[in-house]
Amino acid sequence: MKGKATSFDIAHYAGVSQSTVSRALRGSPLVNEETRRKVVEVARKLNYKVDKNASNLRAQQSSTLAVLLFEDPTSDESQINPFFLSMLGSITRACAKEGYDLLVSFQSSSNDWHADYAESHRADGIILLGYGDYIDYQAKFARLLDTNTKFVCWGANVDGRPELTVSCDNQYGGRLVAEHFIELGRTDCAFIGDASHHSPEFSARFKGFEQRLQDNGKHVSERKMATAISTEESGYQATKSLLANNITFNALFGASDLIAIGAIRALQEAGLRVPHDVSVVGFDDLAVARFCTPPLSTVQQNTTLAGQMLVANLLSLIGEQEVDLANSILPPQLIVRQSSR
């Protein structure tokens, strides 16, 4: 036999028809147990593997999901936010468990937008990940909905379609941070992030934070807020600009760990001690958080669970089944380390 074995080769050697080979290998209940055993053995001997291109073409499905990782266009190319890498890990695992393959793609600019993973039948559905600009997202969502592509999205809401989103309860996470600062007696707070509608996750975190402070008769002065994207450098610069304007505060909430880490660097360079002069809390609980100086207090998002929910919900969507909405908003958890007290 030259080249790879086909189902016809197996049929030949097993003394059955090609249709029976196909049924036997796919576990059809129609096939006699004896026959199946024979087929499976021949297949193993000839090292036969079903050609996925052929079966996918015929069955009109791909048993493949695609994950698109949007990178903030303003962040530098080389460093992907570890948070999403961690999500990627758990998504990969969840896919494997469900028998799906996973295509991965980074979307750095808007022009190489790969909605066509689905349209070209390479994937049955798409998972969207990233701290992108929310406004940009809406156009992409429209395109996906338009082509009837199955997709789920991390973090950002699709108008009127809650079943398409899995997210952390960002607002509750923000409340936890405020509560922590209140307990510490540190209510002169700064916020570094982007509380605008461009970043729905960051602004939800801010909203919860601000609300909890207001419950306590406090609030974040607009002067003590600085915009940053989710990078160490951006957090550093934003904090520096605050300090350069002689803005003072005794607590700082970074909308992500990378931002908080950059903020700590800016504070320390300015001669301020963390947590003695300023308590700092981040958001994400990256692996680095434990190893910072000082170790960073933060709000942990459960990426394992998040990945599992994204995959589970996407498969529900593909299978036209009910999505588990109740578990699609994941509760975050405050982790107190040495950067706040």
Partner DNA sequence: CTGAAAGCGCTTACAG
Q: In the chain, which ranges are E strands?
A: 64-70, 101-107, 125-129, 151-154, 165-168, 189-193, 225-227, 251-254, 279-281, 298-300, 329-330, 333-335
Identify the residue among 40, 46, 80, 184 touching a copy of itself (CB under 8 A): 80
Q: What is the dihedral of CA 179, 168, 203, 77, to 10 degrees?
A: 120
- Tokens 């899995």, residue located: 166
Binding part of the chain for a copy of itself, among 73-81, 175-183, 204-212, 325-333 by CB under 8 A, reads: 73-81
Identify the residue among 139, 142, 287, 325 touching a copy of itself (CB under 8 A): 287
Q: Angle 289-290-294 (CA atoms, 0-180°, nearest 5)? A: 85
Which parts of 245-274 interact with a copy of itself (CB under 8 A)?
261
Is residue 144 within the footprint of a copy of itself (CB under 8 A)?
no
Is residue 325 within the footprint of a copy of itself (CB under 8 A)?
no
Cα separation of 275 and 252, whole Å?
A: 10
CB of 51 to DNA, least distance (A): 4
CB of 244 to a copy of itself, least distance (A): 23
CB of 92 to a copy of itself, least distance (A): 5
Q: Indicate the residue among 74 and 148 with the shorter CB distance to a copy of itself.
A: 148
Is residue 119 within the footprint of a copy of itself (CB under 8 A)?
yes
Is residue 142 within the footprint of a copy of itself (CB under 8 A)?
no
Q: Indicate the residue among 64 and 167 with the shorter CB distance to a copy of itself.
A: 64
CB of 142 to DNA, least distance (A): 24
Phi, psi of 75 (to 5 degrees): -85, 160
Phi, psi of 255 (to 5 degrees): -65, -15
112 binds, among DNA, a copy of itself, none (CB under 5 to 8 A by kind): a copy of itself
**What is the residue type of 152?**
V
Cα separation of 215 and 225, whole Å?
A: 19
| Burial of residue 124, with CB atoms counted within 10 A of its CB: 0-12 exposed, 13-18 middle, 19 or more buried | buried
Decide: helix, strand or coil at residue 153: strand
Residue ranges that bind a copy of itself, judged by CB under 8 A: 4, 47, 49-54, 56-57, 62, 64, 77-80, 82, 85-86, 88-90, 92-93, 96, 101-106, 112, 116, 119-122, 147, 261, 287-288, 291-294, 304
